[in-house]
Amino acid sequence: MKEIFADMHIHIGRTESGRPVKITAARTLTLDEILIEASEHKGMELIGIIDCHSPEVLAEIEKGVSSGRYTELADGGIKYKDTVLLCGSELEINDDRCRGPIHVLAFMPSISAMKQFSAWLSERVTNIHLSSQRIYETGIGLQRKVKELGGLFIPAHIFTPHKSLYGKGVKFSLQEVLDPKMIDAVELGLSSDTDMASHVSELNPYAFLTNSDAHSLGKIGREYNKLHIKHASFQEFSLALRGQEGRCIAANYGMNPQLGKYFQTACETCGRLQEAGETVCKACGSRKFTKGVSTRLMELYDQDKSPVKRPPYVHQVPLQLIPGIGPKTIQKLKDAFGTEMNILHRVKEGELKETIRPQTADLVIKARNGDLELKAGGGGTYGKVQS
């Protein structure tokens, strides 16, 4: 088996023609630039672009394949240099069974299947060209279509306060909205980790994924997964999610949940973190609070220890967030060692200290080991690395 790194939640900001796809994403997040960044700078061998239902994005993929720039693999995926792209779509469910909107990811095994999915979606969304559109279809109806086309169905950032399964969509159980048999994995999101999610018993059957939800090139790989598979492809990824035939998720790499911007409950108006027992914000007088992921998980807590043996979850701080490491230092490291995955996983401590200041190299090692001191985030503000 081969060890590869995978980030399965990356947005398209603009198409080749300049048409917006994910409006809140950077204009530099084009198909070509994402593949270059993932392959040549990040070292991600498998990525999921979750706006491939957009007709112009599909046309760009087909153009790249026909020109020989990309290659479509027989077992699913689009290959560019050392990186394979899986065609995905992020959608918003908000049917009569939902208490609030839920974002989900759907991955298709081929360009043909994604084209069929896009055509089906076009009759059920307001604007097929945009990302994260509300689908006027039941959650179970969407699941059935994904499975009919041979796809994978994965609820996204499942605990975040806004537009997620447990954050808004259901009171206690995913069965309120979805068919549990048609879920292939769940994505944890930036404000939770394996230890936190393992206290929810109905998640025991599912693999956990940690992905970036990247809205800019720099955010690609801020959270990612280590897979043991034969090669990067749709079918190999599917086997890894099920832990079959020797394939598996070997580790999840994510920021400490305290760095997530919704870890703690905070005032909805001014963002001040809520104190224990506080019902009125002491700063602005508001009575509205955004419930943090840590608080929400305590409501869902129904088992002390999961019976499932999970891969390790490594609290790793991205290079960009390490104090003292700016663009020039990162470029120096890349010039010496290639990709960010090499820097974070493969380069020896002595080699780092020969390339950058020893004090800065020590911080990189601390980031690898999850030893950096953190200040928790909340209310839409990210946490901070303090040392």
Q: Within this chain, do residues 151 and 247 fall inside the same structural domain, yes or no?
A: yes
Assess contact for 69 and 84: CB atoms under 8 A.
no
pLDDT at 61: 98
Candidates 29, 145, 148; CA nearest to 91 is 145
Say which CATH number the domain at 103 has.
Answer: 3.20.20.140
Q: Within this chain, do residues 137 and 35 fall inside the same structural domain, yes or no?
A: yes
Assess contact for 116 and 106: CB atoms under 8 A.
no
In the chain, which residues have pLDDT < 70? Answer: 260, 374-387
Does residue 181 lie within any of the structural domains?
yes
Does residue 210 lie within any of the structural domains?
yes
Does residue 263 lie within any of the structural domains?
no
Q: Quote the CA–CA distance of 364 and 344 in Å, as a whole number.
A: 8
Q: Within this chain, do residues 146 and 17 fall inside the same structural domain, yes or no?
A: yes
Candidates 95, 299, 89; CA nearest to 177 is 95
Q: Within this chain, do residues 130 and 31 fall inside the same structural domain, yes or no?
A: yes
Q: How many domains does the chain have?
A: 2
Does residue 268 lie within any of the structural domains?
no
pLDDT at 377: 59
Q: Within this chain, do residues 250 and 140 fall inside the same structural domain, yes or no?
A: yes
Q: Within this chain, do residues 34 and 110 fall inside the same structural domain, yes or no?
A: yes
CB atoms closer than 10 angstroms to residue 122: 13
Q: Within this chain, do residues 117 and 43 fall inside the same structural domain, yes or no?
A: yes
Candidates 197, 214, 215; CA nearest to 206 is 197
Residue range of the domain that includes 40: 2-256
Does residue 276 lie within any of the structural domains?
no
Assess contact for 364 and 352: CB atoms under 8 A.
yes
Q: Within this chain, do residues 244 and 332 fall inside the same structural domain, yes or no?
A: no
Q: Quote the CA–CA distance of 232 and 235 in Å, as a whole number.
A: 9
Candidates 328, 308, 342, 190; CA nearest to 259 is 190
Q: Within this chain, do residues 341 and 231 fall inside the same structural domain, yes or no?
A: no
pTM of the model: 0.92
pLDDT at 368: 79
Q: Within this chain, do residues 78 and 191 fall inside the same structural domain, yes or no?
A: yes
Does residue 374 lie within any of the structural domains?
no
Beta strands in 150-306 (DSSP E): 152-155, 185-187, 207-209, 224-229, 248-254, 266-267, 289-290
Extract the tokens encoding 37.
């960044």
